[in-house]
């Protein structure tokens, strides 16, 4: 065996041929003999009680096998940490519009959906509250914010510093509810064999789904197997067990045959999570030389009556800029709405819009260049905690991005560049995202024919994770990638981190590297591989626990050019440029794709995406892709992505920081700042719709 250099190469996706030829099977396509279909019936009120479900007419229809309701559904078990959203069909209470109230099971999908549409459900509605506001009387401070950060932090005397500051920015920003909308809808097919349950599910972590189903159905450890070999996108919506998988398992137990449940696009808007709307109050104070003296970030968000989820919106302000007086706060209100969850860069994405917009406003007020303002306020340690950074190359990203983007030629005056009816402007913002790792296990096997098999419960949600892990394993094993097979998406492979929090590759690569190194050590000792092969196992729990206390983050700089139509209010984005310092990039091709994807999602966040709540009916009315707008090819023009060659040996053995989410952070703020530069009007509320642009211009 000799050293190889697979890491860093632009290796094509290993599963690419299987996907484009249709050989790759997704959860909604797995063929199990004798399977039937389940169609979810959702509540049509936002709060109240189910008083009657008349299933007789539906049960009499051709092909209908059963109708599961709270009266006859299998009873589920609840532990202290059980996600209450998963306790489906357990009582007659309705806690939000779109909650599952029944499951119609039939021989064909068409028969199941027809039955679901005809099922007669009677309700006793109650007054509901779905209106989110920063002055809501039921706002409270949660015990912590996602995943386990302090709710509030305070350093110094913010009020006194703001009172004496030469320049103050005091502004409120807001972001709407946003919905993940992965291309593949949530789907699962479940099969029982006695007290053993097998579920093929579209998720971001088979281990966590296995654990949840084991608890819910009161099963022994090892009695549940979850498989998710191919997943068509997630963005956080598939980051934990969702009701469809529980319903499939319940239906399969009730009918004693495999049951497939696939959510429709419309159902996904209520049943799988979304990004909470936010209202953010920013106060920045600076000396006359543009040095920050105070920063306050207060974030308001919503959660449900079912389960508390408090997004960590103000977290970004705890680490980005040197402010000797710093205060961050979170407040949340529980409404009669579905539970918000993770959506690509939860916390940092909406938080960066407020912080980076406020920094742009401060640069204008101070009369300094927005990049220079950020450089002047670069911290030497994390401002909130005082922890040293494992590495921090934000300034390098800003300077490199400025060079690539042509920032030096920018006229700082707003509203002066015009091409016919188009106003032209440019903007900049900073990006960051935590670089964490979580305990994971892996196994590496050497076979007698000279090939290797690596097994880990990773999930490839379209990121190219399977390919990147193959490159890592190949380098660790000193073998060409063709001789290494990485198997993923099977909970039987053991505990592993989900594909989320930009922690997937960082966590999995650690376990794989450790297993491969142990395997090489064993092979060195025994000399030859026996016919049955040799396997080494690894668990990184103790390694991660022993890590030194450091602030570990990726950083980046986002640059945007916009053209604003003064007649229609349309905003177009001819150019985006992003430069990132995100540790070691495992695959140049898939890595660039991930960053482009994040920045594209940032276009949607800035200009298009908005869940519109109808307060009377208590639902997001634009719950489909016809009326909930996301960027398409025509919206995406020139996106220039690059990265700093960053080596950080205090992260994990491979030096990975994670790139799945940092691409969206800062993009919306850069675009909003560019719209201000183009028009001279500041947009503090997303999305920047044509009507809002026209109103500001008028």
| Positions marked catalytic | 661
Question: What are the percentages of helix, strand and coil residues in the chain, rounded to 5?
Answer: 30, 25, 45
Measure Cα distances from 439 to 290, 298, 504, 537 in Å: 43, 32, 10, 14
Distance in angstroms (rounded) separating the CA atoms of residues 339 and 344: 16
CA–CA dist 234, 221 (Å, integer): 27
List, in sequence order, every residue forming a beta bridge with 694; answer none if it has no partner: none
Task: Give the separation between CA 44 and CA 576, rounded to whole angstroms.
Answer: 42
Rounded Cα distance between 676 and 670, Å, is: 10
- What are the angstrom distances between the C-alpha of 220 and each of 72, 209, 494? 24, 15, 15
**Strand ranges (E), 388-478:** 418-419, 422-434, 441-446, 452-455
Cα angle 349-354-359, degrees, rounded to a multiple of 5: 120
Q: Pick the closest to residue 35 from 193, 256, 186 (CA basis).
A: 256
CA distance 276 to 299: 11
**Residues forming beta bridges with residue 559, ordered by sequence position:** 428, 577
Assess whether the previous peptide bond of 128 is cis (omega < 30° from 0).
no
Picking from 353, 278, 355, the residue whose alpha carbon sits closest to that of residue 311 is 278
Kindly state the helix (H) or strand (E) to which residue 472 belongs, with its residue range.
helix 465-477
Contacts of 626 (CB under 8 A, 6+ apart): none
């Amino acid at each position: 065996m000799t050293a190889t250099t697979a890491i860093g190469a632009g290796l094509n996706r290993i599963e690419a041929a299987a996907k484009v030829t249709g050989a790759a099977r997704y959860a909604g396509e797995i063929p199990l003999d004798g399977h039937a279909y389940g169609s979810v019936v959702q509540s049509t009120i936002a709060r109240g009680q189910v008083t009657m479900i008349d299933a007789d007419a539906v049960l009499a229809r051709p092909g209908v096998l059963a109708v599961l309701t709270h009266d006859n559904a299998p009873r589920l078990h609840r532990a202290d940490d059980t996600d209450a959203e998963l306790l489906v069909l357990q009582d007659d209470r309705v806690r939000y519009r779109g909650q599952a109230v029944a499951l119609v099971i039939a021989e064909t999908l068409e028969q199941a959906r027809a039955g679901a549409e005809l099922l007669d459900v009677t309700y006793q509605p109650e007054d509901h509250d779905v209106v989110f506001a920063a002055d809501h009387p039921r706002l409270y401070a949660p015990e912590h914010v996602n995943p386990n950060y302090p709710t509030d932090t305070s350093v110094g005397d913010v009020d006194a510093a703001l009172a004496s500051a030469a320049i103050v920015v005091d502004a409120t920003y807001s972001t709407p509810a946003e919905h993940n909308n992965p291309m593949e809808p949530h789907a699962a097919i479940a099969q029982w064999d006695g007290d053993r349950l097998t579920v093929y599910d579209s998720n971001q972590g088979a281990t966590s789904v296995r654990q949840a189903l084991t608890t819910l159905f009161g099963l022994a450890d090892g009695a549940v197997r979850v498989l998710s070999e191919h997943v068509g996108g997630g963005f956080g919506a598939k980051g934990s067990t969702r009701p469809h998988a529980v319903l499939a398992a319940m239906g399969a137990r009730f009918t004693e045959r495999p049951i497939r449940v696939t959510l429709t696009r419309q159902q996904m808007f209520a049943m799988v999570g979304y990004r909470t709307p936010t209202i953010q109050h920013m106060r920045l104070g600076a000396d006359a030389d543009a040095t920050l003296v105070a920063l306050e970030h207060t974030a308001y968000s919503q959660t449900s009556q079912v389960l508390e989820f408090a997004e960590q919106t103000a977290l970004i302000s705890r680490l980005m800029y040197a402010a000797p007086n710093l205060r961050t706060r979170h407040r949340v209100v529980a409404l009669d709405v579905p539970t918000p969850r993770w959506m690509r860069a939860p916390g940092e994405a909406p938080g960066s819009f407020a912080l980076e917009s406020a920094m742009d406003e401060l640069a204008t007020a101070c009369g300094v260049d927005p990049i220079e303002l950020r450089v002047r306020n670069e911290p030497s340690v994390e401002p909130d905690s005082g922890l040293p950074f494992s590495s921090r190359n934000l300034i390098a990203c800003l300077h490199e991005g400025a060079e690539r983007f042509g920032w030096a030629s920018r006229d700082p005056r707003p509203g002066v560049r015009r091409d016919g009816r188009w106003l032209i402007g440019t903007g900049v913002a900073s990006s960051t995202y935590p670089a964490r790792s979580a305990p994971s296990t892996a196994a590496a096997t050497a076979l007698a024919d000279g090939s290797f098999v690596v097994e880990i419960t990773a999930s490839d949600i379209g990121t190219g994770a399977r390919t990147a892990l193959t490159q890592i394993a190949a380098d660790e094993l000193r073998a060409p990638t063709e001789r290494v097979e990485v198997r993923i998406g099977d909970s039987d492979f053991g505990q592993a981190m989900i594909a989320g929090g930009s922690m997937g590759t960082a966590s999995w690569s650690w376990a794989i590297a450790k297993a491969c190194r142990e395997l090489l050590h064993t092979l060195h000792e025994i000399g030859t591989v026996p016919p049955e092969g040799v396997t080494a196992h690894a668990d990184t729990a103790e390694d991660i626990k022993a890590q030194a206390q450091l602030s570990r983050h990726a950083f980046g700089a986002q640059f945007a050019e916009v053209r604003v139509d003064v007649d229609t209010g349309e905003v177009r984005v001819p150019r985006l440029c992003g430069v990132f310092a995100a540790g070691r990039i495992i695959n140049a091709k898939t890595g660039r794709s991930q960053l482009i994807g994040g920045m594209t999602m940032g276009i949607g966040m800035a200009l298009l995406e908005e869940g519109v709540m109808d307060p009377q009916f208590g639902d997001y009315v634009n719950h489909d892709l016809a009326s909930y707008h996301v960027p398409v090819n025509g919206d995406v023009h020139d996106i220039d992505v690059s990265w700093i060659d960053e080596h950080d040996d205090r992260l994990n053995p491979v030096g990975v920081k994670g790139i799945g989410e940092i691409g969206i952070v800062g993009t919306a703020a850069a675009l909003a700042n560019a719209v201000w530069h183009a028009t001279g009007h500041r947009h503090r509320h997303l999305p920047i719709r044509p009507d809002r642009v026209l109103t500001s211009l008028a």
